[in-house]
Amino acid sequence: MVATIRTLDDRGSGRANVWRENEKGNLKKLKLTIPQTLPGEEVRVTVAQPSRRRWKVMPDEIVTAHDERIEAPCPHFQKCGGCVWQHWQYSGQLKAKTNHVKEAVESQGFDSDLVLDTIGMDEPWHYRNKMEFTFSPEGSLGLHEQGNWRKIIPLETCLIAGKDMVDAAMEVAEWVREYELKGYDKDEHEGLLRHLMVRQSFITGEMMLGLFATEAPEGHLAEAVDQLVKRIEDKFPQVKSLLWLENTDWADRTQSEETHVLSGRDFIYDEIAGYRFRLWFDTFFQTNPTQAQKLVDIALEMAEPKETEKVIDLFCGVGTFSLPFASRVDKLAGIEIVESSIESAKRNASENGLDNTTFLAKDARKGIDQMLESFGHPELLLLDPPRSGAGGKVMRRIGRAQPGRIVYVSCNPDTFATDIKELEAFGYELKVVQPVDLFPQTVHVESVALLELKK
């Protein structure tokens, strides 16, 4: 059958409706999800179970192609779940992201003209400074198949990861093959190797490799592990942290019960906006350093921080925004629920010569109350919440605190829009929203927004 793509869903796949006769001869609507398609395209598909009301199917043929359709450059694109939009010209991706942000704010009653065009990348490839690869039960290294978290697509390359990172990952994959090591079977809960995490600073060049395994790197593994260390040290001198991380938990997460430093140290150094940060294997840090720098610059430009002001930074993490802001204001207080991130933020502030910061490990809502008592009233509040947003309770608490200016850094247009809607009742006005593309070839988009308290 031929279907026409009406729109895209929140995962970047096409949506189409078709009508089919059932066994009684009645017409029934079938809602299709069709990955790797674009709005307006006519595609031929085969539906295996027409009795279903909804069905996900790959296109058999693109009958009428979108003007912006291109040939995906990655050999793994058809199966790998890492990217979803390599078949779309980058200019088209940016327009779609701008429209997503506009539609989100408009749905909450805001003027979509306040949303500027998305700032893209000059080179939208090899931009990620961190990747987490997975081992299949047979030991091959790759990424999950689209829509199938149990199947691993063995990789020969990755066009969104840093080039040195891919080379190092392929070296580890070759080592695994030579020693015939097994990967972890999620169904049987047995096997050795689970994940390989690679992260690298594009500024300092330092790289970290972290192997997540179900056993310690000793005993029958000692010879193989020694050879891995030698290979990495000989071929990749930029690897300043080679880790073996024990993880026996059934949950499929990159976590560690015991960390073994095979070579170097247990962290690497990175920089953003001229400030140095220590990154451990589980440190949250912006994965696109080029665009992260733009986020910081835009936030500073919107906020116009003054040296007499106090600032509260909610969801501050390890201080990515805290440090550049702290250097421009009288005092800054950061709040973050993850204790290890707060300890890192304190250390990062100290190592960068900042002595006007206070960091609190607390839930955002309770942390605001505590900080208002001890720190005082902020003229400026900055927040960078997770994809789920800050939530109504936190936003209402921010509204009651009445900072003169609020800068909201968002990674989810929909939760951003519902969050800032809460501030209207407290007298805040949305002034501008600047989307920034941190994740080319995917549906995700970040934004920086300024809200001001009406005089």
Using CA atoms of 388, 390, 391, 393 in order, give the dihedral in degrees to the nearest 10: 160
Please measure the distance between the N-terminal and C-terminal CA atoms of the chain and give it in whole angstroms: 60
Q: Alpha helix (H) ranges present in 385-454?
A: 392-401, 413-421
- For 172, 177, 364, 413, the CA distances from 313, given in Å and listed in that order, are 39, 47, 10, 20
Longest C-alpha distance within the chain, in Å?
A: 76
Cα separation of 299 and 450, whole Å? Answer: 8
User: What is the DSSP code (8-state) at residue 117?
Assistant: P
- For 94, 272, 450, the CA distances from 304, given in Å and listed in that order, are 27, 19, 11
Closest CA to 427 of 412, 406, 449, 448: 406
* Residue reference for tokens 């880790």: 243
User: What is the DSSP code (8-state) at residue 308?
Assistant: T
Per the structure block, which two tokens stand in for 441? 């070839």
Cα separation of 393 and 25, whole Å? Answer: 52
Clarify whether 80 is annotated catalytic.
Answer: no
Per the structure block, which two tokens stand in for 93? 């991706």
Per the structure block, which two tokens stand in for 406? 């609020």
Looking at 80, 83, 158, 411, which residue is catalytic?
Answer: 411
Strand, helix or coil at 402?
A: coil
* Residue reference for tokens 């190592």: 351
Cα separation of 292 and 286, whole Å? Answer: 6
Burial of 106 per CB tally in 10 Å (0-12, 13-18, 19+): middle
The residues annotated as belonging to the active site are: 411
